[in-house]
Structures are given as C-alpha cells and as structure tokens.
Structure 1
Amino acid sequence: MKIIWQVYAVTIGCLLAAGCSGESTVTNNTAIQPMLGAVMHSRPKRVRQLAEQGVGLNERDPANQSTPMIAAAETMQWGMVETLIDHGADIWAHDEFGITVAQEAETSRVIPGSDEDQARLRVIAKLKARGYPFPPPKSDEVLEMVKEGRWPPAGARS
C-alpha cells in the first residue's frame, strides 16, 4: 500500500510541476507561444510548419522580449533562423538588451564549414540584401537608435 501512495504522489507531483515530459513549465508555453516553444525545444520541423502558417513569427518572450529568431540565433540554430527570415520574421527585432540576430550571426561560435555555419552565412547574405548594416550595430547603439526613432534604419526593408 505504501508503494501505491508513493507512485500516486510522484505522479501527481509530476503532473503539477513540469509534466512527465521533462519540459520546464517556463519554456513549455507551446499553447500560448508555439513558435518560441518549438525553437526552445529544437524542433525544426515544427518551426517550419508554424512558419508556413505564419504563426508566431514575432512572438515575444515575456522574460526578455526575445523573438523566436533571436532565440534560435542565440542557440546557433541557423537553419531555423533562415526559415523564420524566409517566412517573414522581423529581421530588425531586438530584445530588451538590444541584442539582434545580426549581432549573433557575426559573433556565432558555430563550427566553421558545418551545415549550421552554411545556414548562418546564408542568413548574413539575406540580412545584407535587405539593407542590414554589417558589421551590425552593438546592443547599446541599437537601443539608442530605437530611442531616437532611427531603428530600423531609413530605407530598410523587412
């Protein structure tokens, strides 16, 4: 009988906490923010599916105002970044600290020559083709330009 109660307690605890999937309740916002959830759980097929439907391309993480594209770039998931750009995600987005995808692309430590690096290089080319300045402005510069109404730059294309 004691074992049954222990199993019951563990099951209830699991359901009340993060669920039995092992996912954190902080990042498991898939019902509310499906694209951020797909990026945070490294699900490229789900990212593509949502992007094709135009769902959540520019969702904001309440913790830092990051977008799915910034989150993917920060975790070096450059194929996902490319998918998001190709489906209309805002290339000019920045988080509360002024971090942008372009900054992440410039400083990425992805393995040179890897598939992810090739995707990163395509991302940089797509950003440049839309008028993104390279090297990109630093975080504090982005925040200053936002304050002054100069971000995105004049003549920029989304």
Structure 2
Amino acid sequence: MRHHAVMISIILTTGCSGEDMASNKAGVQPMLGAVMHSKPDEVRRLAEQGIGLNERDPANQSTPMIAAAETMQWGMVEVLIDHGADIWAYDQFGITAAQQTETSRVVPGSNEDQARLRVIAKLKARGYPFPPPKSDEVLELVRKGRWPPAGTWS
C-alpha cells in the first residue's frame, strides 16, 4: 500500500497537480522542481517520504541541496540534511552546498541566516571540513578517490 501512496505522490507532484510547472514538463524530478519553484512545504513533504533527496539535474549534476544553497534557501537545505541528503554531493563543476555557506548574501541575523548557521553546524558535526574545499580541490579529491574524506558520514 505504501508503494501506491508514493506513486500517487510522484504523479501528483510531477504533472497532475493542475499547476503549470514547466521544469517538471522538461523532465526535472519532483524534489528539484520543488526547490527550483521555492516550495518549502513541498520540499518537506517529499523529504519526509524520502523522495528525491539526492536527485541529479541532468544538465549539471546538481542536487536539490546544492540548488537550494545556490539560491540561499537555507531552511530547505536544513530540511534536506535532516532527512538524509548527501552532504558530500558535488556537481560537475565541483560545487558543493557547503561552499555556498561561505558566499551566501542573506541578511545577517535573518531567519535564512540563522538557518545557514545551523546548516554549518550540522555539516561540521558530520565531519565536513571548514572552510570547505574549493571546487577545483573537490574535483581533485574525487579524482584521487579521497572524497568524501575517510571516516565521515552523511
């Protein structure tokens, strides 16, 4: 029965919701679509069901967490981390969500900034190095088979 509920959820999310979501028509997965359309309630709902936590954008291999971080949606990043998204994910350019914490332009002290600070704390608690490695360093570590670093967890 749970399988049927998940399938219905995917169908509703990806094309039968009555809302014109052009990105879903273009083949974007449900979680990426929810992030791209700034739908925090949908991100939470999907995350709670374990749907699409580590989906990859076919264009650049970005994940929902990277996309949310790039658009400074730190509350969404926090939800994704809390539900098991891969904190070590990187896109084709070596960009990670952790790198975005350093360059974010959210207003200091705002709710998004507070979420960004919680994200940093959660990443550090899981062994993520800070300051985070730059994109070219990530790609080099991947090439050497040293990413993620040994002894870390998602």
TM-score (norm 1): 0.83
Identity %: 80
Please tell me whether the aligned partners of residues 34 and 56 of structure 1 are also in contact (alpha carbons under 8 angstroms).
yes
**How many Å apart are 1:28 and its aligned residue?**
2.6
Distance 1:96 1:31 in 2: 19
Q: Deviations over 1:69-104 (max 9, x none)?
A: 000000000000000000000000000000001100
Distance 2:32 2:26 in 1: 7
Match of 1:9 in 2: none
Q: Which structure 1 residue ranges, 5 or more long, are not aligned?
A: 1-19
Report the number of matched residues.
137
Match of 1:112 in 2: 108
Q: Which structure 2 residue ranges, 5 or more long, are not aligned?
A: 1-17
1:103 aligned to which of 99, 105, 113:
99
Cα 1:29/1:117, change in 2 over 3 Å = farther
Q: Does 1:69 align with 2:53?
A: no
Match of 2:138 in 1: 142
Residues 7-46 of structure 1 aligned to structure 2 (within 5 Å): 23=21, 25=22, 27-29=23-25, 33-46=29-42
**How many Å apart are 1:30 and its aligned residue?**
8.7
Q: CA RMSD in A?
A: 1.7
TM-score (norm 2): 0.85
